[in-house]
Amino acid sequence: MKWTCSWILLLALAAAQAGDRAADADRPFTVGTYNLEGYIDVVSPGRTLKTAAAKAKIRESLRRMNADILAVQEIGRPSALEELRTSLKADGLDYPHAEHVAGWDTNIFVGVLSRFPIVARRPHTNDHFLLEGRRFQVSRGFAEVDVRVAPNYTLTVITAHLKSRRTIADADQAAMRAQEAILLRQKIDAVLERNARANLVVLGDFNDTKDTPPIRTLIGRGRNALVDTRPAERNGDTEPNPIPRFEPRHITWTHYYGKEDSYSRVDYILVSPGLAREWDPAGTHIVTVANWGVASDHRPITARFHAADR
């Protein structure tokens, strides 16, 4: 009788532990992206160091976001990313895992910070394209990592910072951005060709609005089309658009372009069909803080997911 009772208790304990593990696996996690507008630690022509006030506002925004996985654009050299990690840790926001990826640009780069282990790294640092007979290199490179969110759940993260809308003498900036988007879409297709149900998030500063060739290219068509999570302000807006074919009139702008005195949505979190099943729209939003512009000309965005394939 004593042995039987002990066996029953062991079975009950094992069942409870299995239930706890399942609950942990399905724990929501968040992914965010933020263009830091030149978070550099070495002065270069045309670029200045971030002020203490700007850094403090960035940290405030990131604490408000509290993302488990954070993609950053316009970060400086690896030392700048490490300084950001250290200062965030002092504020109680710890990212023990990091990736820094360089491209042709020698001043600003892209990076990923994560609370979860990065188990694979595939940096793309030397992609190039032909445009009107001339060869150009992707300026900022693409960071691609696999993150082990839970024992049975891995997320592939690709972040990018496509060509800016600033006019340059060498080529048309819109055409350059369109070519970079084609190369980035090739990385997306490669992931989905390996696994059509892959949990893939593609995020960052794509420097264009939705109905443009670069964004249409990135989203794609057919069974491998990405889903636009479209983060918006949490300001109480709930009504649909009076014109049904359009998205709701929620406040979704992420960037202020001083030259045009305009506000637009150029930062995105796009997800694969497989990841879209775990996406939680209620946990997807623009991070809003007072005096946001002290930190950057961009606003951070975040999306929430469940760490269990559905």
Give yes or no for a contact between 74 and 46, defined as CB atoms under 8 angstroms apart: no
What one-character DSSP code corresponds to residue 192? H
Residue 240 has pLDDT above 50, yes or no: yes
pLDDT at 196: 95
Residue 17 has pLDDT above 70, yes or no: no
Residue 5 has pLDDT above 60, yes or no: no
Contacts of 16 (CB under 8 A, 6+ apart): none
What residues does each domain of the chain span? 27-306
Per-chain mean pLDDT for the chain: 91
Residue 16 has pLDDT above 80, yes or no: no
Q: Which of 73, 83, 135, 85 shows the shortest CA–CA distance to 114?
A: 85
Residue 8 has pLDDT above 80, yes or no: no
Alpha carbon 148 to its chain's center: 16
Strands (E), 59-211: 69-75, 97-101, 109-114, 118-121, 128-131, 134-137, 142-150, 153-161, 200-205
User: Cα-flanking dihedrals φ and ψ of residue 216, to 5°?
Assistant: -60, -40
The fold of 27-306 is Deoxyribonuclease I; Chain A (3.60.10)
Owner of token pair 């394939």: 309
pLDDT at 165: 87
For the chain, what percent of residues have pLDDT higher than 90? Answer: 85
Residue 14 has pLDDT above 60, yes or no: no
Give yes or no for a contact between 108 and 74, defined as CB atoms under 8 angstroms apart: yes
B/e letters for 207-227, b = 16+ CB within 10 Å, e = fewer, are: bbebebebbebbbeeeebebe
**pLDDT 10s digits, 107-141:** 999 999 999 999 999 999 999 999 999 999 999 99
Q: Which burial class, exposed, middle or buried, applies to 297 when counting CB atoms under 10 A from its CB (0-12, 13-18, 19+)?
A: middle
pTM confidence score: 0.91
Give yes or no for a contact between 154 and 118, defined as CB atoms under 8 angstroms apart: no
pLDDT average, residue stretch 244-268: 96
Cα–Cα distance measured from residue 125 to residue 54, given in angstroms and rounded to the nearest whole number: 29
Q: Which of 207, 201, 177, 205 shows the shortest CA–CA distance to 188?
A: 201
